[in-house]
Chain A
Amino acid sequence: GENVEQHPSTLSVQEGDSAVIKCTYSDSASNYFPWYKQELGKGPQLIIDIRSNVGEKKDQRIAVTLNKTAKHFSLHITETQPEDSAVYFCAASWGNNNDMRFGAGTRLTVKP
């Protein structure tokens, strides 16, 4: 089955700096790659996603890039703010709607 690896496990940045989180996946059939943000005491919430027919997608301060050949995708957060502090999970899904596999998560801390 699909295996998603995520790095780093923790990331600390100064407010205003950029943060990059990287993921790799194993199954070349995967074609949908969402990113979820989990704030303390809450369930994960979708923040951005990308499909395999697109190499990059941007939404304000967040962007995701996908390299299908290398089977990796990354989340980029620019101009980080303290409220960006959370755990971020990458995920991968493939041809059916039954399953989505998550990475191990990255705890991002943005220091004011």
Chain B
Amino acid sequence: EPEVTQTPSHQVTQMGQEVILRCVPISNHLYFYWYRQILGQKVEFLVSFYNNEISEKSEIFDDQFSVERPDGSNFTLKIRSTKLEDSAMYFCASSDQGANTGELFFGEGSRLTVL
């Protein structure tokens, strides 16, 4: 069964460093999303991406964050100058019909620990 894959599964970084989290969405999907989940808290929307551009972003997704679909298969989240509070599980999701129409398929997440 097709699935969303994310790498790395766990990354530890020093405060102030840049990290790139990678996602390979399901191949025929058109809508892509990043969410994050701070330990024990709700799953928070970060950004959605469609037709090679950001379609919506939350108040969390400030200039520290960027997304890119560099090669037609990967979907990356870059976090610049990481802060302690960026420590969380980051989930990538994809959908063939969009968040209001069909299922979001989530990857297993990338755990980011900022020291």
B95 proximal to A (CB < 8 A): yes
B42 in contact with A97 (CB, 8 Å): no
A105 in contact with B42 (CB, 8 Å): yes
B43 in contact with A98 (CB, 8 Å): no
Report the count of interface residues on B (CB-CB < 8 A).
28
B103 in contact with A98 (CB, 8 Å): no
Known A45-B106, A97-B31, A98-B50; judge A103-B42 contact (CB<8 A).
yes
B25 proximal to A (CB < 8 A): no
Give the size category of A's interface with B: 20 to 34
Alpha-carbon gap, A94 to B55, bound state (A): 14
B97 in contact with A97 (CB, 8 Å): yes
Q: Which residues of chain B have C-beta atoms less than 8 A from A95's C-beta?
A: 100
Which residue from A42, A99, A103 sits with its C-beta under 8 Å from B99? Answer: A99
Alpha-carbon gap, A101 to B109, bound state (A): 18
List chain A positions with a Cβ less than 8 A from chain B. 6, 31-32, 34, 36, 41-46, 49, 89, 93-105
Contacts A96-B99, A96-B100 aside, 20 further interface pairs with beta carbons under 8 A come to A6-B42, A32-B100, A43-B4, A43-B108, A44-B43, A44-B91, A46-B104, A89-B43, A93-B100, A96-B55, A97-B55, A97-B99, A98-B31, A98-B55, A98-B56, A100-B45, A100-B104, A102-B43, A104-B41, A105-B43
